[in-house]
Amino acid sequence: MAYSGIVARVIPDSISAQLGLEPGDRLITVDGESIIDIIDLSFALADESVELVIEKKNGEQEILEIDKEYDEDLGIEFESAVFDGVRRCANKCIFCFVDQMAPGMRESLYVKDDDYRLSFLYGNFVTLTNSGPQDFNRIRRLHLSPLYVSVHTTNSSLREKMLNNKSAGKIMEQLSALIASGIEMHTQIVLCPGINDGDELERTITDLYSLHPSIISMAIVPVGLSRYRENCYSLEVFTPEKALSVVTAVNKWQQKCRKTSGTSFVYLSDEFYLAANQPIPEYDMYDGFPQLENGIGLVRNFLHEWQQESIVTTGYQTPHHLAVLCGISAQKFLEPLLDVVKIHNLTISVIPVKNEFFGKDITVSGLLTGQDIISTLSQSGEGRTGVIIPGTALRKGEGVFLDNMTLDELEGYVGVPVRAAYSADGLRELLQTWR
Ligand code: SF4
């Protein structure tokens, strides 16, 4: 079957720009071969002369003969990294957040992708339940490493039950086969109280650590429960007591792993420490933050960045009042941090936003919506000069919240400038140079 990659952007002054490629053009073949994804493409283009067949938007095909340096980039970005379509998952996990998504949101939020290529390219987690011998051969042949694998449990029958998939139980064989081919992996566990915690978690850590260092890291995140759970498996959230028992168990493992291999190996997401009222681990315990993109170590990383520089400003000539918004769980570390900031003529209020959109059990800043922010601000007094929101609540590269409200629309509702802080440095900068 023939596939084509649709050009999304042509980098100015690149080879592609000089050849007149435009957004909307389709890449049909390279040297006569159909290409299924950008991994294939990068191999096909590793030559000094290549022939591309391009289909223009009017349906006409052009042949482009290109002479270039062996590793010279063509300067094309594609609409999708996979030209044959994103692989969908074959599971029906009992904890799936896509099944708990509010109705009427943008289509991409309902896509259940489980594609090893996106795992290699972007760090998306895959379960490997839809990967057959051909896929494993390709991973080996192209050495697609490291991969990011959702393990959840190494107990075969429990994994089959959690993923609702009869072929989910061979995870240890799959991991071992990949490791035998030199593939390294980061892993994650979505922890569900009473299902895969306690002894089951001990077993999973033991099994995965036995495959270290090829299994580079193991992240544990708590199950997220939204209010859209009709027809979903009955699950509970972590109480402070249950969160504490996870923290205690993982602390022990981290000490043990550091003694035997020099890394913590297993890392908890911040929600566990915040729910259990336990200190966030020190910076060194995160070993370079191998799963920061997965939200592991965000608070420690933020605190570290915050401590690297001091606030340097003479302050403001007129009184300013900035509201710094966050999810309920972030209030615990953000409030003490900002309480001690003293800037002339500046009042800072940390305002936690309750998540009414997804439900009260969702406390992270990254799932806040524009409508919840408006509702919180309308109940929390007036006289603000501006509002600072967490950048994680916005779609990457765009000023749009999960409920499709734009930053501009939010600004219109609240009547003062709204800015997003994407990091500790960003927050410091906004506080000392508000305009
Ligand atoms: S793998 Fe499981 S959690 Fe992920 S999208 Fe599929 S059903 Fe949902």
How many CB atoms within 10 Å of residue 328? 18
Provide the b/e sequence for 201-212 (b: ≥16 CB within 10 Å).
beebbebbbebb
CA distance 276 to 373: 26
Atom index in ligand 1 nearest the CA of residue 89 equals 6
From the CB of 98, is ligand 1 less than 6 Å away? Answer: yes
For residue range 404-422, list pLDDT tens digits in order: 999 999 999 999 999 999 9
User: Is the Cβ atom of 91 under 6 angstroms away from ligand 1?
Assistant: yes
Name the DSSP class of 385. S
The predicted model gives 136-155 an average pLDDT of 97
Q: Cα 13 vs. chain centroid, distance in angstroms?
A: 32
Ligand 1 neighbourhood includes 93 CB (under 6 angstroms): yes
Pocket test for ligand 1, best of 88, 131, 152, 163 (most atoms within 8 A of CB): 163
Nearest atom, ligand 1, residue 98 CA: 8
pLDDT band at 43 (very low <50, low <70, confident <90, very high): very high
pLDDT at 398 over 90: no
Q: What is the side-by-side strand order in the sheet with 185-191?
A: 147-150, 185-191, 215-222, 266-268
126 C-alpha to ligand 1 centroid (Å): 9
Report the percent of the chain where pLDDT is more than 70. Answer: 100
Residues 6+ apart with CB under 8 A from 86: 80, 111, 113, 115, 118
Chain segment 297-321, per-residue pLDDT in tens: 999 999 999 999 988 888 999 999 9
Residue 167 in this model has a pLDDT that exceeds 70: yes
Q: Candidates 86, 91, 130, 196: which one to mutate for ligand 1, based on the most atoms within 8 Å of Cβ?
A: 91
The pLDDT value recorded for residue 105 is: 84
Q: What is the pLDDT of residues 190-249, one digit of tens each?
A: 999 999 999 999 999 999 999 999 999 999 999 999 999 988 999 999 999 999 999 999
Distance CA 214, CA 176 (A): 9
**Is the confidence at residue 348, as pLDDT, over 90?**
yes
Determine the pLDDT at residue 256: 98
Looking at residue 1, what is its pLDDT? 67
Distance 132 CA to ligand 1 centre (A): 18
Separation of 102 CA from ligand 1 center, angstroms?
16
pLDDT of 312: 84
Q: What confidence tens digit (pLDDT) does each residue in 250-266 have? A: 999 999 999 999 999 99
* pLDDT at residue 296, as a whole number: 96
CB of 96 sitting under 6 A from ligand 1: yes
- The region that residue 416 occupies, defined by phi over 0 for left and psi between -120 and 50 for alpha, beta otherwise, is beta
Which atom of ligand 1 lies nearest, measured to the CA of 114? Answer: 1
Provide mean pLDDT across the span 338-354: 95
* Closest among 186, 173, 118, 116 to 146, alpha carbons compared: 186
Atom 3 in ligand 1: residue holding the nearest Cα? 96
Instruction: With a cut of 80, say whether residue 396 has pLDDT above it.
Output: no
